Amino acid sequence: MREVHTAATSAQVGHLVRRALTFLETDRAAAWRCLRDASTLLVAESTESCDESQRTRNDLRPGGLPHWRTKRALEYIEANLGSKIEICDVADCVSLSRAHFSRAFKESLGSSPMVYVSMMRVERAKLMMTSTLDPLSDIALACGFADQSHLTRQFRRVVGISPGVWRRTVASPKRMAVSERGVRRSDAVNE
């Protein structure tokens, strides 16, 4: 399951590097932003892989799922974030009944499985909003939300503001924008 996450990160990094190459001659600031985003993804991936097992052990509460079942459930959720996830499917993955799995998952991680899935989808949407120029409707579908309004409701519930406002706040003021005709232009004066 870890390979799926690594492959997704690798694809995002590849996309950002290709975009940087296309901007290299015309807009060096945009090229540097793409390379910075790719670098951020790579650092997060390497840090995550080194600290994953220790972090998972430290985050677990006693009395819930054993470490191996927790790890397997989280890997299953991560690998399937872009599609519909049902509690019974995750419970089957760790060979437990739905009720027992739900109780033990909440005991171990402090939230129900579906609340956890929702939070992970929002985190993936945040990553995509900062690393791509994809429209929110495409990001919503890629993260497993039914549509953009579903993303907006869940995002507002978890983060406290709408994804559009969050994206404009977090994104650099010099971030590239896409016009109605699909022509890329810089919002700021080239440096």
Quote the CA–CA distance of 8 and 118 in Å, as a whole number: 19
Q: Is residue 110 a contact partner of residue 98, using CB atoms and an 8 Å limit?
A: no
Looking at residue 47, its pLDDT comes to: 55
Q: pLDDT for 52-108, tens place per residue?
A: 545 545 555 567 888 899 999 999 999 998 899 999 999 999 999 999 999 999 998
Q: Can you spell out the DSSP letters for 13-39?
A: HHHHHHHHHHHTTT-HHHHHHHHHHHH
Tell me: do 124 and 165 sit in the same domain: yes
Looking at residue 37, its pLDDT comes to: 75
Tell me: do 48 and 17 sit in the same domain: yes
Quote the CA–CA distance of 56 and 2 in Å, as a whole number: 14
For residue 180, being part of any structural domain is answered with no
Residue with tokens 């470490």: 67
Domain boundary among 93, 110, 127: 110
Looking at residue 186, its pLDDT comes to: 41
For residue 183, being part of any structural domain is answered with no
Looking at residue 177, its pLDDT comes to: 44
Tell me: do 2 and 49 sit in the same domain: yes
For residue 86, being part of any structural domain is answered with yes
Domain count, the chain: 3
For residue 22, being part of any structural domain is answered with yes
Tell me: do 103 and 78 sit in the same domain: yes
Q: Is residue 145 a contact partner of residue 121, using CB atoms and an 8 Å limit?
A: yes
Domain residues for the domain of 46 are 1-58
Q: Is 190 helix (H, G, I), strand (E, B) or coil?
A: coil
Looking at residue 49, its pLDDT comes to: 54
For residue 185, being part of any structural domain is answered with no
Spans of the chain below 50 pLDDT? 1, 53, 56, 173-191
